[in-house]
């Protein structure tokens, strides 16, 4: 959800104002993605590197995450949607870690749509944690066995990764899982990333020929 800070600063507003707009846009996009028939919608809400931001900004982000998980997710449940969190919850304040765990536990069974929140998420930490678990168990793994040790266990690999905000890098996001994902980069800042912009990305994706290394 890149570009919230710049979007706000362009209007002379606080970065937190931008994050609130980003939160609102994320809620709108999740509903739109579900209406378009998408089954898994993942949002990169906080990276392990973002945790080094000034405490004031982190406190605002934690506040947004707290409020979202304490109230907004009930609307998702009502629509038979589930939530799932990927990341290292031990890096978060205890009450947030509990809200995220409960959010997952209280999700409807057999949901038709899942919103996956990457919070305190970093691919390097995820891969290292999986490797260390395997080493501890003295196991030699194949791909299926390794994938079970990742935070994303049980989730499909992403078909399409969209990065708004003008940067063309992956920033420690789903590095293993994205081996064959299609990538879409746009200069549009996240709060301006409308449903129509999302549809543009989907149309672009639909025109691609995915060969997965074959011919």
**First-to-last C-alpha distance (Å) of the chain:** 34
The residue whose Cβ lies closest to ligand FPP is 5
Q: Whole-angstrom Cα distance, residue 38 to residue 33?
A: 5
Question: By rule CB under 6 A, what string of x and - marks binding of each residue 156-175 to ligand FPP?
Answer: ---------x----------
On the 0-12 / 13-18 / 19+ scale of CB atoms within 10 A, 137 is exposed
Q: Is 132 a catalytic residue?
A: no
CB of 80 to ligand FPP, least distance (A): 20
Catalytic residue among 4, 16, 50, 172: 50
Is 126 among the residues that bind ligand FPP (CB under 6 A)? no
Among positions 23-82, residues that touch ligand FPP (CB under 6 A) are 23, 45-46, 50, 61, 64-65, 68
- Minimum Å gap between C-beta 82 and ligand FPP is 15
Structure tokens at 176: 């293993």
Decide: is 186 part of the binding site for ligand FPP (CB under 6 A): no
Place of tokens 């990457």: 118
Binding of ligand FPP at residue 22 (CB under 6 A)?
yes
Alpha helices in the chain (DSSP H): 4-10, 15-35, 55-67, 73-78, 94-105, 123-137, 143-148, 195-206
Q: What minimum distance in Å lies between the beta carbon of 44 and ligand FPP?
A: 8
Contact 105, 62 (CB under 8 A): no
Burial of 56 (0-12, 13-18, 19+ CB in 10 A): exposed
Could you confirm whether 24 is annotated as catalytic? no
Site residues, ligand FPP (CB under 6 A): 1-6, 19, 22-23, 45-46, 50, 61, 64-65, 68, 117, 165
């Amino acid at each position: 959800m890149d570009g919230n800070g710049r979007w706000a600063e362009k209007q002379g507003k606080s970065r937190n104002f931008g994050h609130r707009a980003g939160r609102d846009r994320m809620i709108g996009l999740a509903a739109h993605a579900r209406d378009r028939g998408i089954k898994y919608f993942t949002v990169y809400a906080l990276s392990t590197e973002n945790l080094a931001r000034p405490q004031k900004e982190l406190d605002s982000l934690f506040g947004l995450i707290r409020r979202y998980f304490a109230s907004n997710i009930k609307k998702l449940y009502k629509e038979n949607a589930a939530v799932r969190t990927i990341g290292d919850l031990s890096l978060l304040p205890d009450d947030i870690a509990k809200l995220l765990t409960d959010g997952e536990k209280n999700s409807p069974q057999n949901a038709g749509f899942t919103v996956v929140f990457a919070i305190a998420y970093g691919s390097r930490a995820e891969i290292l944690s999986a490797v260390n678990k395997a080493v501890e168990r003295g196991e030699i793994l194949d791909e299926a066995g390794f994938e079970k040790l990742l935070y994303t266990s049980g989730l499909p690999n992403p078909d399409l990764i969209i990065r708004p905000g003008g940067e063309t890098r992956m920033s420690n996001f789903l590095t293993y899982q994205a081996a064959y994902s299609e990538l879409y980069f746009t200069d549009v800042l996240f709060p301006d990333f409308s449903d129509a912009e999302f549809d543009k990305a989907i149309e672009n994706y639909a025109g691609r020929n995915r060969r997965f290394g074959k011919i």
